Chain A
Amino acid sequence: QKEVEQDPGPLSVPEGAIVSLNCTYSNSAFQYFMWYRQYSRKGPELLMYTYSSGNKEDGRFTAQVDKSSKYISLFIRDSQPSDSATYLCAMSGVRGSTLGRLYFGRGTQLTVWP
């Protein structure tokens, strides 16, 4: 079993839709959770960063972490064609092999059509 599981999609939604992206993980040592956006043939761009459980909102983006279920989500409200990209979840921890290194999901490819 991979450390981080993420449905690769592809996911296709109309403009204005609410998008829900998710990852599950198996290692309870993960404490830091991130979402990256990657456009084709570009490096990933940090979108959201959260520590431990809870919600964080930044504009149209909301990140949720449920450590009891080992489940994280990214919601995009009022999605735009410019949101079309691959979204990668990533996480790291504070002990053992999780310390100081990011574990990535496979990425979900999102297309928002006008």
Chain B
Amino acid sequence: GAVVSQHPSRVICKSGTSVKIECRSLDFQATTMFWYRQFPKQSLMLMATSNEGSKATYEQGVEKDKFLINHASLTLSTLTVTSAHPEDSSFYICSARDQGSSEKLFFGSGTQLSVL
């Protein structure tokens, strides 16, 4: 299957700092990427849909000024958690849709964020 690379896999930061997470599609072009958040033993919660060259679409309840998403190319999307707080600690996962197979999503390996 298609490969989606996400890094860092784990990050620990202090409250008030910003953290950037990168998501790359390695062997295909992804016009659309998705960002999810997952709490322990829970399913994936869609945070936002990232479209190449346009503004991201955020789900209800997700602060767009706090979770900045940039999708500047067909293979790269970034999520920046700004002014992080301990309640932002979570597992963040990106996914990308293969243009050639529109309904299949391929996921990155996830980023565990811990805010102290």
List the interface of chain A (C-beta within 8 A of B).
6, 8, 32, 34, 36, 41-46, 49, 51, 88, 90, 92, 100-102, 104-107, 109
Query: Is residue B70 within 8 Å, beta carbon to beta carbon, of the partner chain?
Result: no
A44 to B44, CA, bound (A): 10
CB closest residue in chain A, given B1: A46
A101 and B49 in contact (CB under 8 A), knowing A43-B93, A43-B108, A107-B43?
yes
List the interface of chain B (C-beta within 8 A of A).
1, 4, 6, 32, 34, 41-44, 46, 49, 91, 93, 95, 97, 102-110, 112
A112 to B47, CA, bound (A): 32
Contact of A106 among B43, B107, B108 (CB under 8 A): B43
A106 to B93, CA, bound (A): 15
Residues of B within 8 Å of A45, CB to CB, are 1, 107
A8 to B105, CA, bound (A): 22
- B-side binding surface: helix, strand, loop or mixed? strand
Residues of A within 8 Å of B109, CB to CB, are 42-43
Residues of B within 8 Å of A105, CB to CB, are 43
Q: Establish whether residues A44 and B93, one from each chain, have CB atoms under 8 Å apart when the complex forms.
A: yes
Residues of A within 8 Å of B4, CB to CB, are 43
Q: Establish whether residues A100 and B32, one from each chain, have CB atoms under 8 Å apart when the complex forms.
A: yes
Residues of A within 8 Å of B6, CB to CB, are 43
Q: Establish whether residues A34 and B104, one from each chain, have CB atoms under 8 Å apart when the complex forms.
A: yes
